[in-house]
Chains A and B, each alone.
Chain A
């Protein structure tokens, strides 16, 4: 097995890191899309993923076929994201980003506790896609299938999204709304439709993330995806909130760093991994508060 000399990282760790980075990048897109239109940071995004994971575990426990499980996962996540939009986002639309962040923080805890009430603290196993954890051997290097699937699926989603945002009418409207919501509205962009589309796409991405994360961690507990969301949020702010590409890159970067350091550091150091990651995030925020991957003079649209 060949290795990267500097960090003594083997290719397997590298592939896993790319896989994790891809999953985080998708979450970052999901959070970034809604932020673009609504200026709302959805702290409860991870709980959408959690709900999807429970749907998968539910189907897997009953021995339903994989396809049915995935369909159920999509159904649950989409219904929940539409409900979240209707019940929480819509009444909060006029408030400051800070208030909305606190509100979605509350929603996250609410959903997590509902899962705790409903399914108990012990967790459920989602095993139907466990075969994706098997390695394949490519020129002498073992790489887990999920790392390949996650990377491929993410690239596919991002390409589709680029096409959707760049080549379709609704995509044009969404970009216009992200740039300046009220002007876009004056020019005939229908607010409800744009927000609905953003919420739906973000929900679809959450469902895909749920499928891939349950392969990575088959044990679904009420705090499933909570840690990931915190990291992705940090990554999104790190990359730059005001447009999708920096946010996605930020999400990828933090997932990649997390996967790489987690695999490369010895155990007595890797327990401090969250500290390293967040220290790095804070450092970047101090040096470039507008985001790491944004151009100069292009700052997030928010005050205080």
Chain B
């Protein structure tokens, strides 16, 4: 049993992603957009998990890496002849060059990672509330700069005319890639050292773990994944600065917390489950018929329901729906107790 557990831990999230993608192939094209969106959310939440879940340090700032990734991929992949209309003040070099879909995603990941490195270099010294507030500050600064600095992007405009290459296949492959990276990290020496610091900082330090260095490595890796997810996102929908700000921060944190922050399985399950609820409510806000009942909810219901769900999960089951554990074929006997983050 012990030997197949890791296989299960990798295959179960991948299977959930594949199943979600399969659902996407049989539904109507308007519903398919929701499924693709859910899969992009999986990538973002897995990126969040890689840092928050493994380190136990809260970050409100990850959506800034998503934003930076989206800006990179969006600016670089928009056709040259469309750029002047949407981004009139763009710096010359960016105006003349356009790259394809895959290079733009790779660059988004690279820029996300580099940005996370420079942000993390000072910030990884902090923990607890100070880390929460400082990462929030990063989100505010990033949002503020992207909103007004028109040399590097559309500013207040929306990223229209970016090729919409993120379909079901790309979103699913992207999510699987994110899961694979997070899985490999978790099982690597670095992942084990970082979760040791999460369980007991003092003990980890005592055996010679550099808490700062381990957190920084995870932060950069998770920043790169978040940037990559941002690239996927901008190829899915025409974004603007508001789409990668507080609401997305709230929604993705809710997904991570509801699923269970300390396991990859929890991150994937949370992302898919909350996306499903959220998409259903989004449809219901436009008015739908469910089993013969006509359902027409007012705008804003989505966040009320997701917010209430998140508060309920935190109160009743603080380790999340999955209990913060990886899926295991073994029974309750092997279940590890709640981790420090949940306590």
Which A residues lie within 8 Å of B123 (CB)? 282, 286
Q: Mark A99-130, 1 if CB is under 8 A from B, else 0.
A: 10111011101101110110001000000000
Given contacts A116-B300, A230-B140, A271-B148, contact A102 B257 (CB under 8 A): yes
Is A96 located at the chain interface by the 8 A CB criterion? yes
The reply to whether B133 and A234 contact each other, CB–CB distance below 8 Å, is yes
The reply to whether A274 and B144 contact each other, CB–CB distance below 8 Å, is yes
The reply to whether B57 and A103 contact each other, CB–CB distance below 8 Å, is no
Give the nearest-CB partner of B143 in chain A.
A274
Give the nearest-CB partner of B298 in chain A.
A117
Given contacts A88-B315, A99-B314, A230-B136, contact A110 B144 (CB under 8 A): no
The reply to whether A300 and B141 contact each other, CB–CB distance below 8 Å, is no
Given contacts A230-B136, A234-B133, A279-B141, contact A103 B314 (CB under 8 A): yes
Q: How far is the CA of A233 from the CA of B125 in the complex (A)?
A: 20
Q: How far is the CA of A272 from the CA of B145 in the complex (A)?
A: 7
Which B residues lie within 8 Å of A222 (CB)? 300
Is B337 located at the chain interface by the 8 A CB criterion? no
The reply to whether B130 and A289 contact each other, CB–CB distance below 8 Å, is yes
- Taking CB atoms and an 8 Å cut-off, the chain B residues in 115-133 that contact chain A are 122-123, 125-130, 132-133
- The dominant DSSP class at the A interface is helix
The reply to whether A300 and B129 contact each other, CB–CB distance below 8 Å, is yes
The reply to whether B250 and A97 contact each other, CB–CB distance below 8 Å, is no
Q: How far is the CA of A102 from the CA of B141 in the complex (A)?
A: 20
Is A278 located at the chain interface by the 8 A CB criterion? yes
Q: How far is the CA of A41 from the CA of B342 in the complex (A)?
A: 17
Which B residues lie within 8 Å of A88 (CB)? 311, 315
Highest count of chain B CB atoms <10 Å: which of A101, A109, A114: A109
Given contacts A95-B343, A102-B58, contact A278 B311 (CB under 8 A): no
Q: How far is the CA of A285 from the CA of B125 in the complex (A)?
A: 10
Which A residues lie within 8 Å of B15 (CB)? none
CB contact between B144 and one of A92, A105, A233, A275 (< 8 Å): that residue: A275
Is A241 located at the chain interface by the 8 A CB criterion? yes
Is A62 located at the chain interface by the 8 A CB criterion? no
The reply to whether A304 and B254 contact each other, CB–CB distance below 8 Å, is no
Is A296 located at the chain interface by the 8 A CB criterion? no
The reply to whether A302 and B304 contact each other, CB–CB distance below 8 Å, is no
- Taking CB atoms and an 8 Å cut-off, the chain A residues in 80-96 that contact chain B are 88, 91-92, 94-96
Is B138 located at the chain interface by the 8 A CB criterion? yes
Which B residues lie within 8 Å of A103 (CB)? 310-311, 314-315
Q: How far is the CA of A110 from the CA of B312 in the complex (A)?
A: 12
Which B residues lie within 8 Å of A165 (CB)? none
Which A residues lie within 8 Å of B126 (CB)? 285-286, 289
Minimum CB–CB distance from A279 to chain B (whole Å) comes to 6
The reply to whether B137 and A304 contact each other, CB–CB distance below 8 Å, is no
The reply to whether B250 and A106 contact each other, CB–CB distance below 8 Å, is yes
Q: Mark A258-273, 1 if CB is under 8 A from B, else 0.
A: 0000000000000110
Minimum CB–CB distance from A104 to chain B (whole Å) comes to 9
Is A257 located at the chain interface by the 8 A CB criterion? no
The reply to whether B304 and A117 contact each other, CB–CB distance below 8 Å, is yes
Which A residues lie within 8 Å of B140 (CB)? 230, 274-275, 278
The reply to whether A237 and B133 contact each other, CB–CB distance below 8 Å, is yes
Given contacts A96-B343, A303-B128, contact A285 B304 (CB under 8 A): no
Is B299 located at the chain interface by the 8 A CB criterion? yes
CB contact between A106 and one of B122, B254, B318 (< 8 Å): that residue: B254
Which B residues lie within 8 Å of A241 (CB)? 129
The reply to whether B145 and A101 contact each other, CB–CB distance below 8 Å, is no
Which A residues lie within 8 Å of B56 (CB)? 98, 304
Give the nearest-CB partner of B125 in chain A.
A286
Q: How far is the CA of A88 from the CA of B57 in the complex (A)?
A: 22
The reply to whether A234 and B58 contact each other, CB–CB distance below 8 Å, is no
CB contact between B341 and one of A96, A112, A233, A286 (< 8 Å): that residue: A96
The reply to whether A102 and B314 contact each other, CB–CB distance below 8 Å, is yes
Is A179 located at the chain interface by the 8 A CB criterion? no
Give the nearest-CB partner of B310 in chain A.
A106
Supply 18 further A-B pairs (C-beta < 8 A) apart from A109-B306, A286-B125, A304-B201. Answer: A91-B316, A95-B342, A96-B340, A96-B343, A98-B57, A98-B129, A98-B132, A99-B343, A101-B129, A102-B310, A109-B307, A113-B301, A113-B307, A114-B300, A116-B300, A237-B133, A303-B201, A304-B56
Sorted from nearest, which 10 A-B pairs have the closest CB atoms? A110-B307, A278-B137, A116-B300, A113-B303, A106-B310, A91-B315, A113-B304, A117-B300, A103-B314, A237-B133
A-B contact pairs, 17 of them (CB 8 A): A41-B129, A92-B314, A99-B343, A102-B58, A106-B310, A106-B311, A107-B307, A109-B307, A113-B300, A113-B301, A237-B130, A275-B140, A282-B123, A282-B134, A282-B138, A302-B129, A304-B340
